[in-house]
Amino acid sequence: MKHRNSVEFEVAGEYGLFSDPVMRVGGEKFSYQIPTYEAVKGILQSIYWKPTIIWVVDEVKVMNLIQMDTKGIRPIKYFNDKNDLSFYTYLKNCRYQVRAHFIWNENRPELEEDRNEHKHHNIARRMIERGGRRDIFLGTRECQGYVSPCIFGEEKGAYDDIPELAFGMMYHGITYADEAYSEETKGKMCVRLWRAVMRNGIISFLPPWECIHRPIREMNMKKFGVDMENFSIAEEQEVMG
Amino acid sequence: MSLFSQLYKTYEINVGKEQDPEQQMTPVAHMNANAQMEIVLNMDGELREIVVINKGEGTTLIPVTEASAGRSSGIAPHALCDTLSYIAGDFENYCETDKQKKTAAGRFKEYMENLKAWAESSWTHPKVQAVYRYLSQRKLIADSIEYGYIQVDENGKFCDKKISGQPYEKVMARFRVLGSAPGQTGTWQDDTLIKAYTDYYLSKQEGKADICYYIGEERTISENHPKGIVAANYGAKLVSANDMQGYTYRGRFQSAEQSYALSYEASQKIHSALTWLVKKEGVYVGSKDKRMFLCWNPENKKVPDIFDSLDLEGDEDEEYTPISYRRDLRKALQGYRNQFKDVDSVIILGLDAATTGRLSVTYYHELAASTFIDQINRWGETCCWYFLKFDKKKKAYFSVETPIFRRIVECAFGCERNGFLEVDDKVLKEQVQRLVKCMIEDQRISFDLVQALKNRASAPMAYKSGTLRERVLSTACAMIVKYHNRYMSKEEGEMEDMKLDETNTDRSYLFGRLLAICEKVERVTYDPGETRDPNAIRLQSAFVNHPMQTWKILEDLLKPYFQKLKPGSREHYRRMIEEIVELLNPEDEQKLNMELSEKYLLGYYLQRAELRSKKKEDQEDKEND
């Protein structure tokens, strides 16, 4: 579904790693075959983000064939300088088209004056044309990606002819306390799960509030405000000269 | 789908299906035991018969608890089928000593309490109730005595006898309840009963409840996951979160529990499916340091073994030509193809332990079953060559086949030891995996492999055994053909026909042909039984590096051999050499003398084969005259 402030872009990278959380804890990373909601949201945040907005990913279209590549990695241990040997299974030659929109972050009342839809939408679109403000990466930081504008669904993808492909229960993302939307998620950090399905190459993501939630632990949201002396609105500053 | 989701699906589809105990997947909370006695009841719990099981048919799947599965001493009853001392209420009446009586009484009491709990729970089953009704009568031993299987002495106590080699208290009994579906009357054959117990057991699990990442619902969470999945790395676990110091889960998560949640049910099912698959179909690569490869279809349909020669039905000693080989290959694979539906998939998995204790996935690929068969077909059709074989009478013949992965790696990187080619495990594992990837994902094989094979094939003097030389040469040719097939300007479907191409003007190909002729000229002059290597072979390495130079040397060396030939043959060979030299591009000396590409091996092999067959034809002509 297209919203008034939807953006569309294509992201591509040689490698992608959307780690399966259960296998990750042993030290070996094993990628899901499709991007997680959180990873795509991270790409959007790298393109453009302000604390006023929350990005919501609507659809992702898988353009290239899903291929995996396992590499032996020698990460350095945390507590000494010795090497560890692990096998990370990456996705190869990833290319996705994304459609997303943004909503206001209601947990930030101090930013109410910044809720100017045109402003954020236009900046986001311009930043997509420029390939994003910050570095793009697909899942983990070593998987460099590149963003370019596109028209969602115009180009034919590798899975267009397959009516349905199910991926089972997957990790959706983590809801942090500052983006909470319900009593259950306020003041906590929650993991979200959902049952992923790809239809004709397109994955329609559930919005975060419709997923299965697993609260992990308590988390405090940092509050900003003028009276707390850690926040000020730009026009208050005097322009010099 | 992720690996674990696929394994979960495999479990759900296959649990309780297979009747052969050796081939069964162990469902959650069950294990295999050896039963000697079978008690046949009807649905109302009345005894119909007691039989002693024939030797070799006693393997039975029985429901267990965690405590009873690993019981040694003490009282830990199984859930349904157990030894006579547990299930027979009148066992104590026939015991000699008070100690035995007490043990038997204690065992029976606990067994019946557990069975009652199950029979009265919401996961009960008519068979369970039938068994409970019968055993409550406490007359199993009396009935067994009536049937003559147990003998008592004058005092009415147990004799010191055995049933099928087991003393009375260790005799394991299993139950059969008549009146249910045929073929499922045994408690170990009834998948509804197996499922009922599994669900009952899972419901009784005590432990923290949390949302399982695979099921998506609240379940009891397991912290300890099974090991021993892969026999070669017994202590290694696929899922483990015990690293409190390293980078594994720390960061956002403060403890292992926060980082993930895998329920007992999902974990048991996943590991059970994986262990079953590994035992049934796991292929180990390597002799000491092994990697395990697994190739399966979740619906348990038969999948061709890609590590073994794609076994074609036919005579063992059949001389395959390129055409007949490709035809038979397609036919054999069609058989597999017919059983798959469009939506069926095949999964290929490679597991290895990078460190002891941690099992990791080194290769994972999932593809449609039809595509899988296509890839095997394509591989077999394009990567094949003539191989030297020996029939039952030890006579040599040539047949077209596809070398298996292990052979390819051995020929490319192995050393000759005791007449075999041996290669280091580490190299073998990685290279076999690369080849698997090329076959399954239809990718170009890497040039370094082709180059390694070319180098080995170009140094025949390094091998003492003639058969090894031939094998290395044939394997090299097969891989060269495969390498070039993908990117030559050949049309889809056009394949190497493995015949000598007399119009080919590629420099290396032509020099290869020259080499074959040089070898032949000398061999023809040999006395029968001569085993000396001809000059051409001895100078082969030099020939590859500086063909023009070495060719001149060979010409000189061959002069005396030419003299030995009959004038007709001499002319014949001289003409052949002239024709080839003419096809060589008259570029400057430098270019002609450059190192030969791997294609020379093709020219060499095919010319040599052509000369050999011509000789046979000539001989036959002579005999006909």
- pLDDT, tens digit (0-9, with 9 covering 90-100), for B286-345: 888 888 999 999 988 888 888 887 655 445 667 788 888 888 888 888 988 998 988 888
Structure-block tokens of residue A60: 């992702």
Going by C-beta distance under 8 Å and a sequence separation of 6 or more, which residues neighbour residue B256?
Answer: A25, B223, B241, B242, B244, B249
**Is residue B51's pLDDT more than 60?**
yes
Q: Is there a contact between A87 and B214 if contact means CB atoms under 8 Å apart?
A: no
Q: Could you report the per-residue pLDDT of B156-184, keeping only the tens digit for each?
A: 888 888 888 888 888 899 999 988 777 78
Residues of chain B contacting A24 with CB distance shorter than 8 Å: 248-249, 259-260
Residues 344-363 of B with CB under 8 A from A: 350, 352, 354-355, 358, 360-363
pTM of the model: 0.80
| DSSP-assigned states of every residue in B347-408 | EEEEEEEEETTEEEEEEEEEEEHHHHHHHHHHHHHHS-EEEEEE-TT--EEEEEEPPPHHHH
pLDDT in tens, B365-380: 888 899 999 999 888 8
Q: How many CA within 13 A on the CB side of residue B608? A: 23
- Residue of A22, A140, A197 to mutate, testing the B interface (most B Cβ within 10 Å of its Cβ): A22
- Cα B410 to Cα A50, B406, B423, B618, distances in angstroms: 59, 6, 6, 38
Q: How far is B159 from chain A (nearest CA, A)?
A: 56
Q: Using one digit for the tens of pLDDT, what is the confidence trace for B541-582?
A: 999 999 988 999 999 999 999 888 888 888 999 999 999 888
CB within 8 Å of chain A, chain B residues 3-62: 3-5, 8-9
Residue B21 confidence class, pLDDT cut points 50, 70, 90: low
Please tell me if residue B390 touches chain A, with a CB cutoff of 8 Å: no
| For residues A41-49, average pLDDT | 97
Per-residue confidence at B625, pLDDT binned at 50, 70, 90? very low
Average pLDDT over residues B111-119: 92
The whole-number pLDDT of residue B490 equals 46
User: Is the separation of the CB atoms in B262 and B269 below 8 Å?
Assistant: no
Give pLDDT, residue B617: 61
Which pLDDT does position B22 carry in this prediction? 66
User: Mean pLDDT of all residues in chain B?
Assistant: 85
User: Average pLDDT in the A60-77 region?
Assistant: 89
Residues of B in contact with A171 (CB under 8 A): 213
Round to whole Å and give the CA distance between B310 and B439.
13
Tokens 């003097």 belong to residue:
B461
Q: Mind listing the pLDDT tens digit for each residue in A4-27?
A: 999 999 999 999 999 998 888 878
Contact A24 B238 (CB under 8 A): no
How crowded is residue B177: how many other Cβ atoms within 10 Å of its Cβ?
Answer: 27
CB of A216 less than 8 A from some CB of B: yes
Q: How many contacts (CB atoms, under 8 Å) link A and B?
A: 121
| Residue A156 pLDDT greater than 90, yes or no | yes
Which residues from A are below 8 Å from B271, CB to CB? none
The pLDDT score that the predictor gives to residue B489 is: 44
Distance (Å, whole) CA A102 – CA A3 = 9
pLDDT of residue B314: 47
pLDDT of B242 strictly over 70:
no
Report the pLDDT value the prediction gives residue B266, as an integer from 0 to 100: 87
pLDDT at residue B315, rounded to an integer: 53
Mean pLDDT of B13-20: 74
Task: Return the percentage of chain B with pLDDT > 70, whole number.
Answer: 92
Calpha distance B346→B340 (Å, rounded): 10
pLDDT tens digits for range A172-226: 999 999 999 998 899 999 999 999 999 999 999 999 999 999 999 999 999 888 8
Task: Identify the CA nearest to B602 among candidates B496, B465, B524.
Answer: B496
* pLDDT beyond 70 at B384: yes
Question: What is the pLDDT averaged over residues B498-502?
Answer: 83
Higher pLDDT, A238 or B450: B450
Stretch 258-317 of chain B: residues touching chain A, C-beta under 8 Å: 258-262
Lowest mean pLDDT among B64-78, B114-128, B267-281, B501-515: B64-78
Q: Which residues in chain A are contacts of B361 at CB distance < 8 A? A: 23, 28, 30, 70, 87, 89
Cross-chain Cβ contact A21/B250 below 8 Å: no
Helices (H), B385-465: 405-413, 425-440, 447-457
Coil vs helix vs strand at A48: coil
Check CB contact under 8 Å for B364 and A68.
Answer: yes
Mean pLDDT of A93-112: 94
pLDDT for the residue numbered B265: 85
How many whole angstroms separate alpha carbon B442 and alpha carbon B57? 46
For the residues B483-507, what does the mean pLDDT come to? 69
B218 near A CB under 8 A: no
Q: What is the pLDDT of residues A114-148, one digit of tens each?
A: 999 999 999 999 999 999 999 999 999 999 999 99
B296: phi then psi, degrees, rounded to nearest 5: -145, 165
Q: How far apart are CA B29 and CA B204, in angstroms?
A: 12
Across A30-34, B66-70, B585-589, least confident range: B585-589
pLDDT at B257: 81
Residues 6+ apart with CB under 8 A from A218: A187, A188, A189
Of B296, B297, B442, which is closest to residue B375 (Cα–Cα)? Answer: B442
